Amino acid sequence: MIKNIIQKELAEYTQNSHLKWIVVFIYLLFAVALFTGIQYYQKTNTGSKAAQKASYKQWLAQGKKNPHSASHYGFYAYKPLSPLALMDKGMEGYLGQAVWLEAHNQNEVKEREADDAGSIVRFGNLTVAFIFQFLLPLAIILLGFNLFSKEKEYGTLPALLSSSASIWQLFKGKAAALYRLVLYIFLPMFVVTFISILLFTGFAEWLNVLPHILFLLILYLLYVGLWVLLSLYISSFAKQSSVALVGLLAFWVFSTFFISRIGSVVAKSAVPTPSSFQFSHNIRLDNEMGIDRKTPAYLRQKAFEDSLLKKYAVDSISQLPLNIRGLNLQRGEDYGYLIFEKNYGGLEADYLKQNAIMNWLNVLSPPQSIRSISAGVSGTDINKHIHFSEQAELHRRLIATTMNDDITRNSVGIDNYEVSPDFWKNVPPFQYTSPSLLLVLPQQLISIVSLQLWLGILWLLLKKRAGQITGL
């Protein structure tokens, strides 16, 4: 029975003149988006790989130098672009790409693309993900708003009711037909994207992100189904198709464009972040006055030197078997770690709190939920960014410790201490390891659950609705 309904609906769609235009429009935009995505990936990725190599080469070519000068010179860590950025650029434009690993300071990850891009990019980016998340639902609405209401308008409902098919069967058949139609539109695009990622990022990278891609595929299959059910549900209520259409369009606008910006405002009001002035001023005060604001720098140094005298059982600093300068530098670094953990850690915690608020609000909006999951899984969101900056910071500490240890151990009693050029090799190049899918998914838990809920609730509502329809 359901098979017949599906066939009948699909046959009707083939005569629908809208369908052709919708497909042409979406495929055109998809072509543009994919092309842009590939270009973006290639350009950014080759750029950052080359720069990473060049920066390490500069580090190795420093020549004879004092290790602390080298530590100041440092090198840059560049954030490699995730292969899935080709499909979903996420918030990459607003995240930095490079961080300077230097002595004494944990730096921000800088060089945001948006800084140079001009105000036109504030309208957004046309990405493959944008088409899947925002435009595909619009197509579903346009194809499905009259899925049931047309039976009322054409006066065919009584005939249907008198047939052997139940309303629930009718619903299932209609939904399956629309779902199948949408898959005909969606799957070719997804396959092309899938192949593009293989072609343009390389087999190894592709294999790495294969679980991510498959996860996204499952997610999109559910997401598309969600919109099909929603369209049918609203359509089943409307006396006139146009009312269903306007209602669905209103929800589409609300969930795609409205809720995210409301989320920004709510998150910012609930969890304010410090100004950049306040932030750096706090770091300055932590340095000058101590994190507890009671132990200024000179007291910290004195306490440290006293502890050394005690530890090595000597009367004066000059009797120490190690170089005090190296020890002091490392002590400064160690205290710096505390300061940066407090300040950057605090800021990141604030960001995550803000994100949680936005994610909770996104429960109201399936497009925003999937947008968040997709950026997370694609490695183009802030979680991945923090993950990167943490690894970069560890590498900065590695540089500082390697340099300071050498000064401490090997420069006792030497005035103008310098090391030979091949010493720099003791610090390995920076290599970022991106998080696995299992690490990413818990961060998106709210959004994943919310999508399932939407789907489940719509299914139940539709079932209930089927029981309510008895006649005109």
Partner 1 sequence: MVMFLFISKYEWLALKANKMLLLVAAVTLFLLLFALWDGYKRVSFQTKTITAIEQQQKADYDKYSQQITSAKPGQHFNGGHFGNPTNPFYFGSRMGAKYAVLPPAPLSVISTGQGDLFPSYYKLTLSKRQALYHSGEIENPHILYNGSFDLSFVIIFLFPLVIIAFTYNIYAAEKQNGTLQLLMAQNTSVQKITAYRMLFRYLLFCGFTMVILFGGLLAFDVKVSANFSALAQVMGIVWLYAAFWFAFALLVNSVKKNAGFNATVLTGSWLLLVLIIPTILSGVVNKLHPNRSRIELITKTRDISDSIATSINVLNRFLEEHPEFKPAGIVQPDRNSLTLRNRIEVEVQKELLLNEFAITTQNRESMVNRYRFFSPAIFMQQLLNNAAGTNEKRYVDFDNQVKKYHQAYRNYFEPLVYRQQRFTAEHASLVPNFVHTEVNNLTSGSNTANILFLVLLVIISILFALLNRTNRLFSFKRRR
Query: Contacts with partner 1 in 323-352 (CB under 8 A)?
Result: 347, 350-351
203 is an interface residue for partner 1 by CB under 8 A: no
Taking residues 369 to 408 in sequence order and writing x for each that binds partner 1 by CB under 8 A, - otherwise, the string is: ------------xx--x-----------------------
- 124 is a contact residue toward partner 1 (CB under 8 A): yes
Interaction of residue 94 with partner 1, rule CB under 8 A:
yes
Shortest distance (Å) from residue 119 CB to partner 1: 6
Q: Is 123 in the site for partner 1 (CB under 8 A)?
A: yes
Instruction: Give the sign of the dihedral formed by CA 146, CA 152, CA 156, CA 161.
Output: positive
Shortest spacing between CB 148 and partner 1, in angstroms: 14
204, 218, 265, 472: which one binds partner 1 (CB under 8 A)? 265
Residue from 187, 274, 309, 337 that binds partner 1 (CB under 8 A)? Answer: 274
- Nearest-angstrom CA–CA distance, 339 and 105: 10
**Binding status of residue 188 toward partner 1 by CB under 8 A:** no
* 63/211 with CB nearer partner 1: 63
Q: Which stretch binds partner 1 (CB under 8 A): 119-127, 199-207, 424-432, 456-464?
A: 119-127
264 binds partner 1 (CB under 8 A): yes
Q: How far apart are CA 259 and CA 438, in angstroms?
A: 28
Query: Which of 6, 209, 219, 358 forms a contact with partner 1 (CB under 8 A)?
Result: 358
Asked if 81 touches partner 1 (CB under 8 A), the answer is no
Report how far residue 194's alpha carbon sits from residue 187's, in angstroms, rounded to the nearest whole number. Answer: 10
Q: Which of 159, 191, 253, 457 binds partner 1 (CB under 8 A)?
A: 253
CB of 54 to partner 1, least distance (A): 4
307 counts as binding partner 1 under rule CB under 8 A: no
By the rule CB under 8 A, 433 interacts with partner 1? no
CB closer to partner 1, 288 vs 460: 288
Q: How many residues bind partner 1 (CB under 8 A)?
A: 85
Contacts of 81 (CB under 8 A, 6+ apart): 41, 44, 45, 48, 92
Considering the complex, state which of residue 23 and residue 91 has its C-beta at the smaller distance from partner 1: 91
The interface with partner 1 within residues 229-248 (CB under 8 A) comprises: 240-242, 245-246
* Cβ proximity to partner 1, 54 vs 445, nearer residue: 54
- Give least dist CB 333 to partner 1, A: 16
What x/- string results for residues 32 through 71 when contact with partner 1 is judged by CB under 8 A? x---x--x---x---xx-xx--xx--x--x----------
Q: Between 146 and 323, name the residue whose CB sits nearer to partner 1.
A: 146
Alpha carbon distance 333, 331 (integer Å): 5
Among 94-102, 166-174, 179-187, 200-208, the segment contacting partner 1 (CB under 8 A):
94-102
Give, in degrees to the nearest 5, the angle at Cα 434 between 451 and 366: 15
Residues 140-179 touching partner 1, rule: CB under 8 A, are 142, 145-146
Q: Is 114 among the residues that bind partner 1 (CB under 8 A)?
A: yes
What minimum distance in Å lies between the beta carbon of 61 and partner 1? 8
Residue 20 interacting with partner 1 (CB under 8 A): no
Per rule CB under 8 A, is residue 122 in the interface with partner 1?
yes
